[in-house]
Amino acid sequence: MSGLIRLTLPTFKPGTYGHAKLVTMVKTYPLLKTHQDSKGHWTVSLASKTKNGSTAPKALVV
């Protein structure tokens, strides 16, 4: 994901927004869910509202 951001906006830096890494920045967004696999790779899922108002994973974004 960070590679795509760098291609689109080369000047993007998470530090500009107060975060050391992109993953820490993404974790602050309640509509996104992060997961780290056993090899250390991160995935980001979109969360959607369920009937009771909580959020649940909707789709995988890589």
Q: pLDDT for 20-40, tens place per residue?
A: 999 999 999 989 999 999 999
Total residues belonging to the chain? 62
The one-letter amino acid code at 45 reads S
pTM for the model: 0.66
Distance between CA 49 and CA 27 in Å, rounded? 17
58 versus 41: the higher-pLDDT residue is 41
Distances in Å between the alpha carbon of 31 and those of 11, 20, 38, 43, 49?
25, 20, 24, 14, 9
